[in-house]
Amino acid sequence: MSLINQMLKDIDKREGEQQQAGRSTSRYETGKRVWPAWLFMALGVISTVVVLLLVLWVWRVMNTPATVAVEAVTNPVEETVNLPPQAQPQSLAQPRQARPPMAETLAKPVAVPVVEAATQAKPAPTPKPVTEPQTAAATPEPVVTPVPEVEPEPVGEMAIQRSNTPPKVLAERRFQQAMSDLQGGRTQQGAQRLQEALLMAPDYHEARQQLAVYYFSYGFLTDALAVLEQGLEEFPGETGLVLVQARILERAGEPAMALNALRNVANELPANADLLILRGALASELEDYQVASETYQVLTSWRPREGRWWLGLALAQQQLQLTEQALQAFRRALDDPSIGTATREFIHQRVEELR
């Protein structure tokens, strides 16, 4: 029994020494080192990645030439690589019509992936250039039917549709909208619609007058006169435009220019009554008594009961040294019952002076 105990003690002692040396089992092992499990896992992952990369590379090499070959067959007439005449196939060496620069620009990049794919698939010391015409020569050219080019419709341009409505009617609608805008305080929109009305109907004189008044009321005297002058160039002698022009010049402190605008007005009544009345007043103010006398003679012959016109005629004739005619005009002015008291006293004084 002592021998057995001694052997057990030796075994226990040996296991204790093995545990101290870093061994996990009590069986006898050789001196080879055991590799850890994580190392095998890492090697497996790396091997998998390498295999996937190789598969992707092979797939790219296999598919790139086929795609380019299809494009080359579809468009066999596009010249992508400049080859010497002896390297071109006989069927493609014939002269072709020049293409526009855009077609050449779109065709040139196709030759690049062909050369790259051939280089990657078959590396060699002296690689031969692979071009599209060689691929196209191996495949019969398809018959291409010319398709007429259709120009695309311009994008971003305003489409103008013709309307059966007369321009005068459209201009009238714009004018009514403009007047509504001006009365509602939307002055800029109203002015724009007045301009649109004039574009539709340049002979819409009422719209031109309103536009000139709008410009003048907001201090744009030059614009107001320009609008009126443009209308008078197209329609000379238009009385409504002349009257607005003269009144704007008078309000702007230019009575002489206003009178010059009225000098050539025809003595037609009652059509030009407002023009003649304004011309007579301006002529009297500027002491142009000859124009004043002629104007008031026309007015008094039209309406002989207007005492103010007889008074204007009498004052003009008095300055022209036409005494008898002036006395007669003063007396005719007193026949108007609407003349005020102060005016009557002034007329009596003048009559006494002329006697």
Backbone angles phi, psi at 15, to 5 degrees: -65, -35
Residues 6+ apart with CB under 8 A from 306: 299, 300, 336
pLDDT digits (tens, 9 = 90+) for 128-159: 444 444 444 444 454 545 544 555 555 555 55
- The whole-angstrom separation of Cα 169 and Cα 175 is 10
Using the structure block, give the residue that is written with the tokens 């010319």: 146
- What is the per-residue pLDDT for 336? 94
- The whole-angstrom separation of Cα 327 and Cα 333 is 10
Q: Phi-psi region for residue 321, left (φ > 0), alpha (ψ -120 to 50) or beta?
A: left
pLDDT digits (tens, 9 = 90+) for 307-339: 999 999 999 999 999 999 999 999 999 999 999
pLDDT digits (tens, 9 = 90+) for 66-85: 444 434 334 444 433 343 44
- What is the per-residue pLDDT for 115? 35
When the pLDDT of each residue in the chain is averaged and rounded to a whole number, the result is: 75
Per the CB < 8 A criterion, the answer to whether 299 and 306 are in contact is: yes
Q: Is residue 78 classed as helix, strand or coil in its secondary structure?
A: coil
pTM reported for the whole predicted model: 0.54
Closest Cα to residue 319, out of 268, 270, 284? Answer: 284
- The whole-angstrom separation of Cα 103 and Cα 114 is 19
User: 210 to each of 15, 333, 335, how far by Cα in Å?
Assistant: 120, 37, 39
137-140 CB contacts, 8 Å cutoff, 24+ apart:
137/89, 137/91, 137/92, 139/69, 139/73
Q: How many CB atoms lie within 10 A of CB 334?
A: 16
- What is the per-residue pLDDT for 11? 62
324-328 CB contacts, 8 Å cutoff, 24+ apart:
326/350, 326/354, 327/351, 327/354, 327/355
Span of 3-7, 290-294, 307-311 with lowest mean pLDDT = 3-7
Q: How far is CA 104 from the centre of its chain?
A: 34
User: 273 to each of 141, 228, 262, 327, how far by Cα in Å?
Assistant: 89, 20, 12, 25
- The whole-angstrom separation of Cα 52 and Cα 44 is 12
Residue 71, amino acid: E
- The whole-angstrom separation of Cα 174 and Cα 195 is 9
Per the CB < 8 A criterion, the answer to whether 139 and 73 are in contact is: yes
Residue 324, amino acid: E
- The whole-angstrom separation of Cα 316 and Cα 293 is 5
- What is the per-residue pLDDT for 132? 44
- For the chain, give the percent of residues with pLDDT over 70: 62
Q: Which domains occur in the chain, in start order? A: 56-75+100-138 (no CATH), 288-355 (1.25.40.10)
Looking at residue 98, the DSSP 8-state letter turns out to be P
pLDDT digits (tens, 9 = 90+) for 30-71: 444 556 777 778 888 898 888 888 888 888 877 764 444 434
Per the CB < 8 A criterion, the answer to whether 137 and 92 are in contact is: yes
